[in-house]
Amino acid sequence: MLRRQILTRSLSMGTAMAEQPKRRSNTSTILVMGIPGLLCFGLGVWQIYRYGDKVEKIEKRKAKLLEGEPVREFNGVDPATIEYRIISLKGTFLRNMDVRISPRTGPKEIPDYLTSSGGMGSVGSFLLSPLQLEDGQVVYINRGWIPRTPRKNQTINALPSNEVTVKGVVRMEKKPKMMVPGNVPENDQWFWADLPAMYQRYELDGPLFIVDAIRRDGTWELPCAKDLEEQLDFQVDPFTHQVYAFTWFALAACMAVIIRLIITRRADPRRARMEEILLKGRATSRDPSRTSTEHLKDVPAEKKS
């Protein structure tokens, strides 16, 4: 009798001690899955915000492109107020002062015969040429994309020598945030249009914006400029933000399901009862004073069969 009491107490203590690691394990699992789940949910919300912000920017840009007559005078005007407005400028191109911004990809649907040779595809540069206005100011015109390695019989249009009228889209070039090397002006290596450095390099003076030339419908030539529709493009479009949001929310949902399964499994009374019976069965096998079938009295009726 004494031995049975000792075994019963040992069993109770063993069961309690066995439950503690389980609880700690379950809590750790919930934390390990819960924190990334919350992070994924937050990233999904962030992508929804970015989607709305991108759609708003596209609508504003579209409104500016369609706004009234082209800008003809910009002196004393904040460049930010006329960005993505169509502008008309008259002047003469300066020679031997071109700037190539590399690497850049060509316009959408560019014909193969205008792309780079040697398997480089649409890898190339934007060709910026300075246009000197009647008042002496200089505005850099992004004439368009040119291939990195031209194919045979490809011709890049030369600069006109006479006075011309250029119609294009005002665009402010912002310094890249990361992953872009610094410009090396003395070696004519340009990775982004740093206008103050460009003016200093060639001793010029002008406004802090460039003008993207507009490609006429159905016209394909080098340099290959963007059309108006491509001015609405962003590096990451709204649809991509939707895909990102769906991905993050799906990951968060998967982790929530896993946590739910862990909690449900832990709270199942039948599972806990069966584990207790198994522990009693192991203790009985060590107690010669109790028959090998005595522990079955604790098993529910549906389990005795």
* Domains of the chain by residue range: 2-54+247-304, 69-240
> 53-67, 103-117, 249-263: lowest mean pLDDT where?
103-117
Give the mean pLDDT of 34-58.
93
pTM here? 0.71
Type of residue numbered 89: L
Q: How confident is the model at residue 246 (pLDDT cuts 50, 70, 90)?
A: very high
> 23-27, 46-50, 90-94: lowest mean pLDDT where?
23-27
pLDDT value, residue 138: 96
Residue 106 confidence (pLDDT) above 90: no
Q: What 3-state DSSP class applies to 303? A: helix
Type of residue numbered 181: P
Residue 253 confidence (pLDDT) above 90: yes
- The more confidently predicted of residues 33 and 88 is 88
Task: Compute the distance between CA of residue 168 and CA of residue 213 in angstroms, rounded to an integer.
Answer: 4
- The more confidently predicted of residues 146 and 13 is 146
pLDDT value, residue 7: 47
CA separation (Å) from 30 to 24, 45, 174, 262?
10, 22, 44, 8
Give the mean pLDDT of 262-286.
64
Residue 164 confidence (pLDDT) above 70: yes
182: Cβ–Cβ under 8 A, 6 or more apart, which residues? 191
Residue 302 confidence (pLDDT) above 90: no
Alpha helices, DSSP H, located in the chain: 2-65, 79-82, 195-202, 238-267, 269-285, 301-304
Task: Compute the distance between CA of residue 300 and CA of residue 48 in angstroms, rounded to an integer.
Answer: 53
Per-position b or e across 195-230, b if 16+ CB within 10 A of its CB: beebbebeebebbebbbbbbbeeeeeebbbbbeeee
- Tell me the two tokens of residue 185: 């002006």
Other CB atoms closer than 10 Å to residue 241's CB: what's the count? 21
Question: Looking up tokens 């310094």, which residue turns up?
Answer: 175
Give the mean pLDDT of 81-86.
94
Q: How confident is the model at residue 279 (pLDDT cuts 50, 70, 90)?
A: low
- Tell me the two tokens of residue 144: 């368009």
Before 21, cis peptide (omega within 30)? no
The chain-wide mean pLDDT, for the chain, equals 82
